[in-house]
């Protein structure tokens, strides 16, 4: 192949028009590695939480806890699951605007909202789970130590989750800024 053939092929490579179906197939995110990782986390976490909700009352003596603590645990667990579902759907549908720049801005705003709701529901669920576990028990020095370990673990998990969301938001923000520089 000589240089003229190469130039001709290069010039003609962009002349082919893509249909809407082809463009949508190119922008689908369902096979992206991070989306697969989130899907696997989702497929493991949600059934485990549903199983927990189905059996917590008998296995963890829910009948001995107050009605308020039981309701708080159920509501916080459901909110946590709903937040995971909404977050998954936001991440698999990143294209929302009429152009790339607008889509990136809207995705950044959605991720900022998800940061807040994800951290809040994680903290709420973890807090109510700890409350449920320690409700109506006599706390000894060892149990205080275990309780502080659980609270510290919850804080670390929430911090790591927040840091991961900020990293995702930062990547989208950088991509948006780079795209604006090109335009």
* DSSP line for 131-153: HHHHTT-PPPHHHHHHHHHHHHH
Structure tokens at 119: 């951290």
| CB-based burial, 151-165: b 16+ in 10 Å, e otherwise | eeebeeebeeebeeb
- Alpha carbon dihedral 103, 95, 173, 88, in 10-degree steps, equals 140
What's the pLDDT band for 177 if we cut at 50, 70, 90? Answer: confident
Query: Under a CB-based contact definition with an 8 Å cutoff, are residues 151 and 139 in contact?
Result: no
Question: pTM for the full model?
Answer: 0.76
Residues of the chain with pLDDT > 90, as a percent, come to 42
Give pLDDT tens digits for 102-117.
888 888 888 899 999 9
Q: What is the distance between the alpha carbons of residues 140 and 99, in angstroms, rounded to a whole number?
A: 60
In 5-162, beta strands by DSSP E = none
Give pLDDT tens digits for 23-82.
566 556 666 677 778 888 888 998 999 999 999 888 888 888 999 999 999 999 999 999
pLDDT computed for residue 172 by the predictor: 85
Query: Under a CB-based contact definition with an 8 Å cutoff, are residues 92 and 50 in contact?
Result: no
């Amino acid at each position: 192949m000589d240089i003229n053939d190469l130039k001709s092929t290069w010039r003609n490579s962009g002349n082919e028009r893509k249909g809407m179906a082809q463009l949508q197939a190119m922008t689908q995110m369902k096979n992206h590695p991070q989306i697969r990782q989130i899907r696997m986390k989702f497929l493991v976490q949600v059934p485990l939480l549903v199983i927990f909700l189905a059996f917590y009352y008998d296995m963890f003596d829910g009948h001995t806890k107050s009605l308020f603590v039981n309701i708080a645990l159920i509501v916080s667990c459901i909110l946590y699951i709903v937040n995971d579902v909404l977050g998954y759907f936001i991440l698999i549908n990143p294209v929302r605007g009429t152009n790339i720049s607008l889509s990136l801005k809207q995705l950044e705003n959605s991720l900022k909202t998800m940061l807040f709701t994800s951290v809040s529901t994680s903290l709420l669920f973890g807090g109510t789970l700890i409350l449920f576990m320690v409700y109506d028990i006599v706390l000894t020095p060892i149990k205080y130590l275990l309780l502080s370990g659980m609270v510290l673990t919850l804080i670390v998990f929430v911090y790591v989750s927040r840091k991961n969301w900020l990293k995702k938001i930062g990547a989208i923000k950088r991509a948006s800024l780079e795209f604006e520089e090109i335009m």
